[in-house]
Amino acid sequence: MYIKYYPRRFYAVFFIFLFIFFLLIARLFFIQFFKSSYLKSIAARQHNLYVELEPRRGTIYDRKLRPQAVNVNADSLYALPSEISDKEEVIRKLAAILKLDYAYLKDRLYRKKSFIWIARKLSPQTVAAIKSLKLKGLDFVKESKRCYPNGFLSSHVIGFSGLDNVGLEGIELYYNNYLRGSPGCALFLRDARQRKLELWEKMILPKDGYNVISTIDEVIQYIAERELDRMIKDFHPLQAAIIVMDPHTGEILALANRPGFDLNNASSIGENIRRDHAICDLFEPGSVFKIVTASAAIEEKRVTETDRFFCENGSYRVANHILHDHRPHGWLTFREVIEQSSNIGTTKVAQKLGPDLVYRYVRLFGFGSKLGIDLPGEISGMIKPPRAWSKTSIGAVPIGQEVGVNTLQLVSAISVIANGGLLMRPYIVKEIQDKYGEKIKEFSPVVINKVISPGTANRVKEILMGVVENGTGKLAAVEGFRVAGKTGTGQKLDPDGRYSHTKFNASFIGFAPADDPAIAICIIADEPHPYYFGGVVCAPVFKRVAADVLKYLEILPSATGNQANSVRGDDFSDRTDRFHEAKKIN
């Protein structure tokens, strides 16, 4: 049989196959050396799942280690969009359970990403409902959710954190770097069907945050807030604040504002309600400011307690302004000027001092400067230097006008009288610990400056005891104890810049027991009505708070009520553990 040979065709086919072979070799070479990283990344995304491991946020405790902010476990839902075949069905079912907008879910699930968050830190009921759908491409990761067991209590002090473990207000914000910790990560393996295996290739464990021990006492905080709410009910102020401080150390034992809010629902609360008015808001204090003028006059030896001043029967001209008292007075001793809160008598004392000395003591008492409390938002207040004073300022500043202060500055100022003349730095956190209880950092009392001598402080203290026993602060008297304090009623400014005759701030500052002060308290009420005098609105709040706190601290009154014997140790008595103890005090 004859076979015809076609060499041209043979070589053509041979070279075509050879060419194709070299093309394949070239393609393999290109893939191996130029596309390998890209292809490996695709394989890694298919078979590996990178998950960030959230650290446990540190717990915030009160001074007796009662938890105020803790973490609880919660599941967060994520999606792998590339694995979802019917995205419309998934969107429809999730929208019904999560109560989320259709457009929001569509935007997230149609993104060209391998991992996307859908909803964070869900309730167990919601998680169970989603798991029952058995939707492909959805899964959960364990996270921790911030929980505030006391709800409204200490809301402006504790603050709150967001979904991403970042503090947003209060201690949560100021000490966020300590509380937050450091995140870890894990690289989980997945099978050919993209199901997560309980195996991982790499894992870096998160570093948990430190625990914060605050100076707040939960029971004292409860007492303060309970009485603040009672004042709100009786006198309807626009807002109110109270601070209870240890005058010897500067530790804040309680700090509250009204309106308050539930820390577990803080994201839905307006910014003004979340604002810590006690340290962030400015107001003219009124007559509580007279403690500065009184202290300066005694320290500078310009007056004695028995010096007499004619109070002009209630009307006194200062430059082109007529100054009035709340009721007319004739001759008053210096002690009586403060006891009866005479504006005219105080102005005459200030005129003996002169603007420079008045201004100097205002600044020594901490007004016009930040005191350095470890909470966000503190303001410095406002006091003009003497060169900026008008001819009438000498009759305004000494009685608490033309000066802006906050509640924290007032409670610090009255503490100067209580502790013998020292301005202490107020603070809200006493210690930071790791999760094993080891001390990381400790905060101790700090003296900002010496304001007056102990002798002057004692003399002013005696005058302030007279305010409660004989003067405008009688409603602040606590049975069995001697109390020192000062009332204040400050006129607010109208929009035209003039002082209002219908809008006032009411206030009271004081400490108890007067002979051995354990607590200093400041109460502020903005536009209370129908009554607006500090001695009527705020003094009774002081009385009730001081009485219950002293009882809680086991400070016993003497039989005569002239002195009190303290059974306190280095820290407050551990007589009770929860709120119900305070509720028994009535």
Can you count the helices (H) and strands (E) in the chain? 20, 25
CATH 3.50.50.60 is held by the domain 50-214: no
pTM here is: 0.82
- Assess whether the region 50-214 and the region 218-263+274-583 belong to the same CATH fold: no
CATH 1.20.1560.10 is held by the domain 218-263+274-583: no
The domain ranges of the chain are 7-48, 50-214, 218-263+274-583
Torsion sign across C-alpha atoms 261, 265, 271, 277: positive
CA 174 → CA 154, 159, 166, 265, 566, distances in Å?
A: 15, 9, 11, 20, 34
In whole angstroms, what separates CA 171 from the centre of its chain? Answer: 6
With 0-12 / 13-18 / 19 or more C-beta atoms within 10 angstroms meaning exposed / middle / buried, residue 486 is buried
Region for residue 242 given its phi and psi (left: phi exceeds 0; alpha: psi -120 to 50; beta: otherwise): beta
Report d(CA 29, CA 460) in Å as an integer: 93
Give the residue among 495, 499, 419 at the shortest CA–CA distance from 454: 419
Report d(CA 374, CA 425) in Å as an integer: 10
DSSP E strand stretches across 9-102:
48-53, 60-61, 67-79
| pLDDT of the residue at 188 | 62
Residue 375 backbone phi and psi in degrees, to 5 = -140, 150
Q: How far apart are the first and last CA of the chain?
A: 126
| pLDDT of the residue at 79 | 85
Report d(CA 102, CA 109) in Å as an integer: 11
The strand pair at 429-433 and 439-442 is best described as: antiparallel
| pLDDT of the residue at 47 | 56
287 is catalytic: yes
Report d(CA 102, CA 355) in Å as an integer: 67
Q: What's the pLDDT tens digit per position in 106-126? A: 888 888 777 788 888 888 888
- pLDDT tens, N- to C-terminus, the chain (586 residues): 555 566 777 777 777 877 787 788 877 777 777 666 765 565 555 556 656 677 889 999 999 999 999 988 888 888 888 778 788 888 888 888 888 888 888 888 888 777 788 888 888 888 888 888 888 888 887 777 889 999 999 999 999 998 778 899 999 999 999 999 888 776 666 555 555 545 455 667 788 899 999 999 999 999 999 999 999 999 999 999 999 999 999 999 999 999 999 998 887 788 889 999 999 999 999 999 999 999 999 999 999 999 999 999 989 999 888 999 988 999 999 999 999 999 999 999 999 999 999 999 999 999 999 999 999 999 999 999 999 999 999 999 999 999 999 999 999 999 999 999 999 999 999 999 998 899 999 999 999 999 999 999 999 999 999 999 999 999 999 999 999 999 999 999 888 888 888 899 999 999 999 999 999 999 999 999 999 999 999 999 999 999 999 999 999 886 545 443 444 444 444 433 433 444 343 3
CA angle 252, 255, 258 (to 5 degrees): 170
| Annotated catalytic residue within 76, 154, 161, 287 | 287
Query: What DSSP designation does 504 have?
Result: E
Torsion sign across C-alpha atoms 455, 457, 460, 466: negative
